Amino acid sequence: MGMHDEQLAGRTQQIFFKPSAEENFTYPGAYEVDFDKETEFDAADMSNKDVNLKIRDLMSQGYGSITIRNPGAKHSLGVCILNRLQLTFDGSLGYFGCGLIDGPNVHIKGRVGWSCAENMMAGTVVIEKNAGSTFGAALRGGDLVCKGDVGSRSGIDMKGGTIIVGGKTGMNSGFMMQRGRMVILGDAGQNLGDSMYDGTIYIAGKYESLGVDAVESEMTQTDIDWLEKKLSIYGLKAPNGVENVRKIVSGKKLWNYDNLEPSEKKLIL
């Protein structure tokens, strides 16, 4: 995930699927939906709980494309969707929007508050405007894209997937990053990549400072090709070209597990 071939010690996080295990590819109770079957509803006078229940009810009827009008910056909308779905919010969301999802493609035409898409497993979330702090906290998979600016601590405890920020990000972004890739097309605040264990941060702008054990690394052709392809999916470009983007990785000075006694390793790993 960090664009290098080094083998990490300890238990692998790779999961290998077998065709014979097809029944395990979806969650129990997942709905069969048709993306060509479209509907919409107005959430102006609904509670956040009722909005989420309405989404599930529509999925149970086979609707695969749902548009929600007037979400009104309500908190915790679009959470825990473990299903393929095209979901559009015609407005802004509050805190914890689209968290704990696995599979849907979400388009948010406004802004989002704190912790958007935290613990996302798979799918895409694209925000047209700005996002709050802890954007993509503990992200595990999928693509999380904000075309505007994001707050501090974006990608904290990131475990996989890709975060793309079209503008600026605040301080402590990428803190304790473990896997995945973060792309910042603007500037970053203090302590970028602080205590990152693995993964890669690409930044097209300037950073105020790097965090503990975060270091610059040489860009490779693989990095350049990946950035060009990934950014083109969402209609984004690096301001000065991807070849001038800087790459931040872990300096690995905090990798102290091999100094532990075997009994201590068992407790940690």
Q: Are residues 260 and 136 located together in one domain of the fold?
A: yes
Q: Are residues 207 and 250 located together in one domain of the fold?
A: yes
Q: How many domains does the chain have?
A: 2
Q: Are residues 136 and 256 located together in one domain of the fold?
A: yes
Q: What is the pLDDT of residues 26-77, one digit of tens each?
A: 778 889 999 999 999 999 999 999 999 999 999 999 999 999 999 999 999 9
Q: What is the pLDDT of residues 120-154, one digit of tens each?
A: 999 999 999 999 999 999 999 999 999 999 999 99
Q: Are residues 183 and 96 located together in one domain of the fold?
A: no
Q: Are residues 96 and 136 located together in one domain of the fold?
A: no
What residue numbers bound the domain in which 184 lies?
A: 132-140+148-269
Q: Are residues 93 and 210 located together in one domain of the fold?
A: no
Q: 73, 98, 129 — which closes off a domain?
A: 129
pLDDT band per the 50, 70, 90 thresholds, residue 22? low
Q: In what order do the strands lie in the sheet with 159-165?
A: 34-42, 63-69, 86-90, 102-108, 122-127, 143-146, 159-165, 179-184, 200-203, 246-250, 214-217
Residue 262 DSSP symbol: H
Q: 129, 157, 181 — which closes off a domain?
A: 129
Residue with the two structure tokens 């948010």: 108
CA–CA separation, 265 vs 258, rounded Å? Answer: 8
- Does 3 fall in a domain? no
Q: 129, 160, 180 — which closes off a domain?
A: 129
CB 116 within 8 A of CB 144: yes
- Does 256 fall in a domain? yes
User: Residue 131's pLDDT is what?
Assistant: 98
Q: Are residues 166 and 103 located together in one domain of the fold?
A: no
Question: 0.85 exceeded by the pTM?
Answer: yes
CB 4 within 8 A of CB 218: no
- Does 119 fall in a domain? no
